[in-house]
Amino acid sequence: MVTSTFQQDTQFQSDGDLEQVVLFDDRENVILISKDHVFQAHVRSAVQRIKSSHKDSPITERHVGMDEIAKRRLDGVGQKAENVIDKTEMQQHAAALFLRAVKMKASDIHIRVSERGRCQVLFRIHNDLTQIEQHPYTWAHALCTTIYHSMADVSDATFEEGSRQDARIGNKNKLPQGLDGIRIATTPMVDGFVMVLRMLYDASGASNDLRELGYNANQTARIAFLKRRPTGLNLVAGPTGSGKSTTLQRTLASLIEETEGTRHVITVEDPPEYPIPGAVQTPVTNAPTEELRAAAFQQAIKGAMRVDPDIIMIGEIRDTPSARLAFQAAMTGHQVWSTLHANGAFHTVDRLVDLGVSLELMTDPAILSGMICQRLLKTLCTCKRPFKSMFDHYKEHRPNFDEDLNRITSILDIDDLYAQGPGCDACNQTGILGRTVVAEVVVTDNTMMGLIKVGKLNDAIEYWKREHKGITMVEHAILKAQKGLVDPLLSESIVGPLDGGKSFLQSAALPKA
């Protein structure tokens, strides 16, 4: 049974004080604010709450002395600021929402607050957004304000719905069991704002064996080889939400465990996602603009290199300066791990060219030692159905199903295949149990990099497949579909047509296990 307890909100313990400095006079639609307390955070948020709950009428602020507020209150005027929205009740709503998200294995909660339409609460579950609740504007606004002010370890003093803000809930008393934290990001929309809450699950009990994420034995062994090398840059590529951070976190955690704390591991993350026991994790300071954020990130990498690290993890290579710094770190005798946006392991080369890294540098296998790429495929629950039993349904709902079927049967035996089931208690009625990695793992060597250097990328890939037993993400997906682990059509929506792996089948008999 998952339970959680909540501490009393401390920010508003001075409600008595708030009553003395803020008063809403509904006869004149005016908020009286003590002129000495106008800019205090809890006062601003109380004013914001009053305004939000009176959207229909324009409300003015008047800055007065505390004696005038006291006088009007004695006259029986006014609404107590703190009563406009019940904070305790809102915190309970938020807590219930977090608990529900954990039970449904959601990775994110989106709260879309629109002044025009209704406000939606959505969960991202196995990468798909699902609407969970709808609320009136005032309610949703109050929910977000409460989460930001009363539950988060706030980085900016007040919640400004018109600007981009980040915060984090780290207080275990405000989190359901199973969560290590919640990362909050708000962004303005045309007619409101959206608050996205990333659920940071407690991974302390999780195994660091990459095979549990979906990597196969050969891939895991090659990553283990990269971990043992004293220097070199290893990059994990993939789009947002492809599980790169989890792979890096597990890799570093196992590395620290295996070396029994003898290596100085330092990370530079914006922001740190998961705790890595034994690593020095450096957060990057909040900065209001992209430029300042990038500058702070570079500063943090330089800082990390100065404190005698053995292993550096850079959260993301996202621009030319961070690419340059990552290579610099690898060239000065460090083992470096990072992520970047690229569509395949060998696409890493193109991406690095775009970022201004010289071909000379990146084709030195002593410097760029590993190129990994991954995607996540949904894994089928035991309520899965034989693929064949779905033909009538597909014929009705998929315009090109005959084509799909031809393509898939040209590669796989239809009797081996399964499709997403109708849902059961085990999978929260989704048909999906979780997600599994399909990956490409490339450990570079002189021959491979020599081919890339002279522009023979396809030869390099053939060499990798032949000599290193490399498999592509599509081929990895085929193997998992054949085992009935993933739905072939759902998988194609992530990795592309499965017949992209045809040559793989011609060159080697498809292993059954």
Instruction: Quote the CA–CA distance of 168 and 146 in Å, as a whole number.
Output: 13
Instruction: Quote the CA–CA distance of 147 and 109 in Å, as a whole number.
Output: 12
3-state secondary structure of 289: coil
Q: Is 22 in the site for Zn ion (CB under 5 A)?
A: no
We find the least distance from the C-beta atom of residue 108 to Zn ion, in angstroms, to be 22
Where does this chain touch Zn ion (CB under 5 A) — which range of 46-54, 260-268, 363-371, 418-426? 418-426
Where does this chain touch Zn ion (CB under 5 A) — which range of 359-367, 378-386, 495-503, 504-512? 378-386
CB-based burial, 331-370: b 16+ in 10 Å, e otherwise? beebbbbbbbbbbbbbbbbebbeebebeeebbbbbebbbb
We find the least distance from the C-beta atom of residue 380 to Zn ion, in angstroms, to be 8
We find the least distance from the C-beta atom of residue 4 to Zn ion, in angstroms, to be 26
Report strand pairing: 22-25 vs 30-34.
antiparallel
In 3D, which of 238, 152, 160, 156 has the Cα closest to residue 198?
152
We find the least distance from the C-beta atom of residue 393 to Zn ion, in angstroms, to be 17
We find the least distance from the C-beta atom of residue 421 to Zn ion, in angstroms, to be 5
Determine the size of the site formed for Zn ion (CB under 5 A).
Answer: 5
Where does this chain touch Zn ion (CB under 5 A) — which range of 309-317, 382-390, 405-413, 449-457? 382-390
Cβ closest to Zn ion, residue 189 vs residue 424: 424
We find the least distance from the C-beta atom of residue 375 to Zn ion, in angstroms, to be 23
Handedness of CA 247, 250, 252, 255 (dihedral sign): negative
For 268, 269, 272, 512, the CA distances from 283, given in Å and listed in that order, are 6, 5, 6, 45
Q: Is 424 in the site for Zn ion (CB under 5 A)?
A: yes
Q: What share of the chain is helix, strand, coil (3-state, %, to 5)?
A: 40, 25, 35
Task: Tell me the three-class secondary structure of 180-247, residue by residue.
Answer: EEEEEEEEEECCEEEEEEEEEECCCCCCCCHHHCCCCHHHHHHHHHHHHCCCEEEEEECCCCCCHHHH
Cβ closest to Zn ion, residue 221 vs residue 426: 426
Q: What is the number of the residue whose Cβ is closest to Zn ion?
A: 381
Where does this chain touch Zn ion (CB under 5 A) — which range of 44-52, 162-170, 423-431, 439-447? 423-431
Where does this chain touch Zn ion (CB under 5 A) — which range of 66-74, 164-172, 207-215, 416-424? 416-424
- Measure the N-to-C terminal CA separation of the chain; round to a whole number of Å: 37
Choosing from 23, 381, 439, 498, the residue that interacts with Zn ion (CB under 5 A) is 381
Binding mask 185-224 for Zn ion (x = CB under 5 A): ----------------------------------------
Cβ closest to Zn ion, residue 104 vs residue 510: 104
Chain centroid to Cα 207, Å, comes to 20
Where does this chain touch Zn ion (CB under 5 A) — which range of 58-66, 87-95, 197-205, 426-434? 426-434
Binding mask 138-177 for Zn ion (x = CB under 5 A): ----------------------------------------
Q: Is 434 in the site for Zn ion (CB under 5 A)?
A: no
Task: Tell me the three-class secondary structure of 425-462, residue by residue.
Answer: HHHCCCCEEEEEEEEEEEECCHHHHHHHHCCCHHHHHH
Q: Is 427 in the site for Zn ion (CB under 5 A)?
A: yes
We find the least distance from the C-beta atom of residue 384 to Zn ion, in angstroms, to be 8
Cβ closest to Zn ion, residue 266 vs residue 381: 381
Q: Is 383 in the site for Zn ion (CB under 5 A)?
A: yes
Q: Is 432 in the site for Zn ion (CB under 5 A)?
A: no
Find out whether 140 and 151 touch, Cβ atoms under 8 Å: no
Where does this chain touch Zn ion (CB under 5 A) — which range of 173-181, 355-363, 422-430, 492-500? 422-430
- For residue 510, the surrounding DSSP H or E stretch is none
Taking CA 89 as the corner, what is the angle to CA 85 and CA 90, rounded to the nearest 5 degrees?
70
Q: Is 32 in the site for Zn ion (CB under 5 A)?
A: no
**In the block, residue with structure tokens 């948020």:** 45
The residues binding Zn ion (CB under 5 A) are 381, 383, 424, 426-427
